[in-house]
């Protein structure tokens, strides 16, 4: 039934699988601790231009927050129902963009159970970074030196002048606000040269939308043909997480690119340090992403664009694209368009903006599993209107899918428990004669119709589902600041009182009590430590993921307990 040279391996396969699960947990934890950012060098304000080799894209070395960027009469303030931002009339650069509907901290942290700590203990000793207001919102684009992140755009003239993102444009107003009776808000900036070339650069904001449309109208009042290209790019320093990041999550942060040939690509900062990207593609988009949020320039899908990257001084990085050459004859005009997405990574929304943009919600190589789990999670939440209940619903569905596999696994484990006393007697009688012990053990398995691998493979199959669910819960911005019940006011961060992880450890221990311990005493001692080790790991896991694990463990324990009791009833020789 089993090859002799694999007897010991089969005997220990379950132990090795548990070790594998432990290793995966360690790797997930280390992934949180791994910073994708580089330590920035000393900041310095500089003015210059670096021309991109193919097309002459003016990549700015201007540092946000310097004296020029601080000129107040150059700044236009724009407020909509979802944004508050600034537009620098030098080039029409977008900066200091706040997401008004996405606070940094949940308002519930100041209410209900979340106030127990504040109401009953003195927190005056906490550093200022630990004290916050629920009115603070997420800022994506930023002009400060430390968090520099700008959305730049402009025109490059091949035979005449054109307003790039260094050119000074003019505006009739310095404040624009989307009123309650308006659905769109237009912010026009104008530029004219001495030869009669007029350019109107218009940013269009739409109510409830995280997409900013850009129109660059070129009017040629000269007597010469105008030729040029439009370009758009993102300039950023690697994001530095705040020192008080309470859940230690580290997901990918940096440049990404989507093309019809290569599809979704993450371009690590280390890659940009070694070489610049230069590629042509029809459609596609370029972006800078971070946990929960994305900023992407989307050129017209039907036009060919040249995508590029640059590494500048002071650890600043650029990713963007420029169009094919555009010609405007004398006394004619044309309008070049593009879109900028700046906001949360809401998959249903991003799918409508551009092909592949929803892939910024990154489930890694298990995307084929992550997407169905996300779909199921979203649809359950629509009915229960509670993300915690939705996670419990997903758990029940996953358990239903794997019910027969789990039943087979638990039955095999119960039968292994039945033969455990006989194996112990066999080991004692065989002493140090391992060959005899292995032979007798295989014969015992045949008589009792026990497959030592039967309880392992079903567990192995379910590991990818667990990893996929982990990434779904980590990447889904809808779960950010989503409450469940009681003290669980944010399922995307760790349990503030560590009650769920402790409960998870208890359920894991209860499951372990139903399983047959290894014959090897050393292995048995190690396995007894696993519930405690996993409890420590899960202290820092998002409470939504721990909630799933507690529910899964509880259902598994009940199923395994029932199967074990059935075997006890049907077999009087069964020893619990």
pLDDT score recorded for residue 117: 45
Pairing mode of beta strands 226-236, 326-328:
antiparallel
What pLDDT score was predicted for residue 341?
97
Neighbours of 326 (CB within 10 A): 17
Name residues whose C-beta falls within 8 Å of residue 254's C-beta, 6 or more positions apart in sequence: 36, 238, 266, 267, 268, 269, 288, 289, 317
The pLDDT, as a whole number, for residue 575 is: 47
Which pLDDT value is given to residue 309?
93
Binned average pLDDT, 10 residues per bin, the chain of 576 residues: 43 54 58 38 32 48 42 85 95 95 72 46 41 69 93 88 91 92 94 91 96 95 91 91 50 90 88 86 92 94 92 91 92 94 94 93 87 92 92 89 73 68 73 74 71 59 81 89 88 87 89 67 74 85 88 84 71 51
Contact 294, 287 (CB under 8 A): yes
Whole-angstrom Cα distance, residue 221 to residue 331?
5
Report how far apart the first and last C-alpha atoms of the chain are (Å, whole number): 27
Give the position of tokens 């087979």: 408
Domains along the chain with CATH numbers: 4-30+375-570 (no CATH), 39-360 (2.70.98.90)
- What pLDDT does 66 receive? 41
Residues pairing with 395 in the sheet = none
pTM: 0.77
- Measured CA angle at 96 (ends 94, 102), to 5 deg: 115
Residue 360 and residue 371: Cα distance in Å, rounded?
Answer: 12
pLDDT of 417 reads 66
Residue 331 CA to residue 225 CA, distance in Å, equals 9
> CA 84, CA 105: separation in Å to the nearest integer?
18
Q: Are 575 and 415 in contact (CB under 8 A)?
A: no
Instruction: Specify the 3-state DSSP secondary structure of 168.
Output: strand
Q: How much is the pLDDT for 219?
A: 94
Burial pattern 97-136, b for ≥16 Cβ within 10 A else e, equals: bbbeebbeebebbeeeebeeeeeeeeeeeeeeeeeeeeee
């Amino acid at each position: 039934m089993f090859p002799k040279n694999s007897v010991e391996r089969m005997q220990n396969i379950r132990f090795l699988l548990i070790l594998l699960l432990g290793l995966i947990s360690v790797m997930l934890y280390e992934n949180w601790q791994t910073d994708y950012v580089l330590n920035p060098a000393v900041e310095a304000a500089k003015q210059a231009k670096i021309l991109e080799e193919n097309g002459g894209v003016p990549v700015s070395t201007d540092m946000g927050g310097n004296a020029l960027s601080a000129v107040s009469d150059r700044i236009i303030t724009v407020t909509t129902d979802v944004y508050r931002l600034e537009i620098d009339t030098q080039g029409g650069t977008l900066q200091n963009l706040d997401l008004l509907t996405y606070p940094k901290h949940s308002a519930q942290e100041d209410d209900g159970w979340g106030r127990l700590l504040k109401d009953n203990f003195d927190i005056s000793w906490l550093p200022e970074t630990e004290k916050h207001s629920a009115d603070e919102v997420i800022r994506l684009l930023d002009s400060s030196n430390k968090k520099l992140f700008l959305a730049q755009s402009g025109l490059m003239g091949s035979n005449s002048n054109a307003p790039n993102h260094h050119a000074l444009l003019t505006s009739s107003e310095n404040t624009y606000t989307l009123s309650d009776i308006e659905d769109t808000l237009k912010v026009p900036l104008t530029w004219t040269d001495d030869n009669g070339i007029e350019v109107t650069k218009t940013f269009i904001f739409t109510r409830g939308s995280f997409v900013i449309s850009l129109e660059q109208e070129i009017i040629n009042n000269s007597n010469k043909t105008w030729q040029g290209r439009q370009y758009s790019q993102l300039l950023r320093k690697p994001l530095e997480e705040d020192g008080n990041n309470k859940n230690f999550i580290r997901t990918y942060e940096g440049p990404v690119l989507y093309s019809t040939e290569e599809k979704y690509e993450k371009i690590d900062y280390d890659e940009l340090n070694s070489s610049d990207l230069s590629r042509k593609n029809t459609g596609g988009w370029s972006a800078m992403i971070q946990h929960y949020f994305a900023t992407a320039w989307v050129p017209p899908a039907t036009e060919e664009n040249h995508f590029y990257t640059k590494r500048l001084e002071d650890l600043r990085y650029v990713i963007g694209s420029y169009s094919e050459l555009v010609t405007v004859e004398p006394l004619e005009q044309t309008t070049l368009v593009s879109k900028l997405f700046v906001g949360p990574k809401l998959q249903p929304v991003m799918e409508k903006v551009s092909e592949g943009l929803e892939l910024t919600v990154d489930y890694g190589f298990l995307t084929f599993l992550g997407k169905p789990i996300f779909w199921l999670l979203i649809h359950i939440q629509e009915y229960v209107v509670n993300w915690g209940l939705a996670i419990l619903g997903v758990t029940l569905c996953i358990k239903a899918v794997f019910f027969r596999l789990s039943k087979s696994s638990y039955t095999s484990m119960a039968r292994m428990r039945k033969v455990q006393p006989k194996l112990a007697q066999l080991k004692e009688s065989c002493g140090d004669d391992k060959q005899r012990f292995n032979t007798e053990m295989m014969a015992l398995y045949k008589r009792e119709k026990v497959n030592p691998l039967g309880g392992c493979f079903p567990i192995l199959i379910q590991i990818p589902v667990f990893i996929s669910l982990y990434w779904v819960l980590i990447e889904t911005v809808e779960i950010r600041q989503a409450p469940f019940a009681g003290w669980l006011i944010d399922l995307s961060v760790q349990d503030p009182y560590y009650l769920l992880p402790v409960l998870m450890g208890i359920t894991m221990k209860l499951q372990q009590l139903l399983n047959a311990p290894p014959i090897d005493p050393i292995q048995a001692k190690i396995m007894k430590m696993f519930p405690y080790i996993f409890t420590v790991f899960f202290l820092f896991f998002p409470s939504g993921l721990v909630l799933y694990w507690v529910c899964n463990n509880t259902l598994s324990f009940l199923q395994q307990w029932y199967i074990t009791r059935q075997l006890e009833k049907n077999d009087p020789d069964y020893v619990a």
